Amino acid sequence: MLSKQILGRFLDFSETAPAFTSLYEGMWKMSGRCGDQGSVMTSMIFACSLVVIGIEVDMQRSRDLEARSYWFALEALFAVFFGVEALLRVHQLGFDYFLDAWNVYDYTLVTLSVADVVVSITVPGSGGLGIAKMLRICRLLRIYRSIKGLKALAGLWVITQGFLDSLLAVVWVTFALFLFLFMFAVIVTTMVGQDLDIRREWSGADLYVGGLWKSMLTILQVFTIDSIATTLGQPLMNISPITVAMLVISVVFLNFGCINILVAVMVEHIVNIAAETRVNFAKVLAKVESKVFGAMLEELTEYCDDGEGGGELTYKDFKKVIRTKTMMEKMKLLNFCFDEMELLFELMDADGSGSVSPKEFVAGLRKMKGTELTINYLDLADDKQGHPFLDVRGSPAPPSGTAVHFCV
């Protein structure tokens, strides 16, 4: 295989290559048998690597390989694991692996990690590739792919996807913020920074408004409302009150305007994604229910052909078939209990013949599912008993709008 040949040429060690290749083959076989468990294991190791990165950055003080040997060993283990994982994915998907932007992103990070390990070994005093160390934390974005589809982390995925979909809006809002910063910086520099009398009275004039870029940083400080009362507000109030008014206007435009627009755009995207997710979930659920109903119809049809009804489902056959293991599993998936199926049989046997066709039975079950459950239940009871307000046992039927559940 091409991936094995590349792996052998890359290693080119007569002793370690066979062992590493055996590990590669074992992981590849294991990934084919237990993909979900492999994903969980990968996510756990990924989380451990992030913890190690944080501790290493906080505690490591030397670039020498011997002084950081423990950290280097952990880095090498993570690099080997993620490298083998990338090779497994390339082996399974082939060239299609590189058609996904996330795969290319992950492959680039893995390559840099492996290069960092190689440079650390070959050049002991270099400390590895600095850019690789900085970009390792970018692997945190892999969590986006890990949480997608997990029901327990659906809220986090919606927020993450909403932020990614809002990136274009973030760029435009950032551009608008820069324009406002530049505009107010020019005004403040002209009104205060170039006034010699103000510069004599205010010792901090050169620091805060001594130039265009200094004024832009000052407006940015005003925008974040960071200690502006003591550093800017009080000195300028006595020297140039109109400048204070301009600063207040800048807060309104920048803080209350642009940022709120950005938040509104993100919230809109998050709401749209949540609604789209619910719609997609409903479509998938409808497809699954349709397949379950189809399998149920096939099983009932086969049972009727072998039974006493000659293609019809008699009450005797019905009591047997609903207690079979496969039928009970289908009823459970559809949120029905077999204890209530006898009542359903009586409701669906509108003509009192003592038998129903499989299509009639499945069609009745379809009517019992969904938001129209109560109305269809009352319609069936009305057809059977001739009384729209009593169920088949003579007790008052539930009022309109009340859902009837056969299985709790």
pLDDT tens digits, the chain, 408 residues: what are they?
Answer: 433 443 344 344 344 444 444 444 444 444 444 444 555 677 677 778 778 877 877 777 666 667 677 777 888 888 888 888 888 888 888 888 888 887 888 888 888 888 877 777 777 666 556 666 666 667 667 666 666 666 677 777 777 777 777 788 888 888 888 888 888 888 888 888 777 877 787 777 888 888 888 888 888 887 777 766 666 766 777 777 787 777 778 777 777 777 777 788 888 888 888 888 788 878 888 888 888 888 888 888 777 765 554 567 777 777 777 777 888 788 777 777 666 677 777 777 766 777 777 787 787 777 776 544 444 444 444 444 443 333 433 334 444 343 334 343
Cβ neighbour number for residue 13 with a 10 Å cutoff: 11
Domain with CATH 1.10.238 in the chain: 307-385
Residue 147 has a pLDDT of 67
Residue 145 has a pLDDT of 67
Residue 393 has a pLDDT of 38
Residue 129 has a pLDDT of 63
Residue 29 has a pLDDT of 46
User: Which is nearest to 142 in space by CA: 61, 259, 231, 43?
Assistant: 43
Domain with CATH 1.10.287.70 in the chain: 165-272
The amino acid sitting at 37 is Q
On whether the CB atoms of residues 338 and 322 are closer than 8 A, the answer is: yes
Per DSSP, the three-state class of 286 is helix
Question: Which CATH architecture best describes the domain 165-272?
Answer: Orthogonal Bundle (1.10)
Domain with CATH 1.20.120.350 in the chain: 2-147
CATH annotation of 2-147: 1.20.120.350
User: Which is nearest to 300 in space by CA: 335, 339, 351, 341?
Assistant: 341
pLDDT in tens, 201-229: 777 788 888 888 888 888 888 777 776 66
Per DSSP, the three-state class of 313 is strand
User: Which is nearest to 254 in space by CA: 291, 218, 210, 292?
Assistant: 218
Domain 307-385 has CATH 1.10.238: yes
Residue 75 has a pLDDT of 81
On whether the CB atoms of residues 90 and 97 are closer than 8 A, the answer is: yes
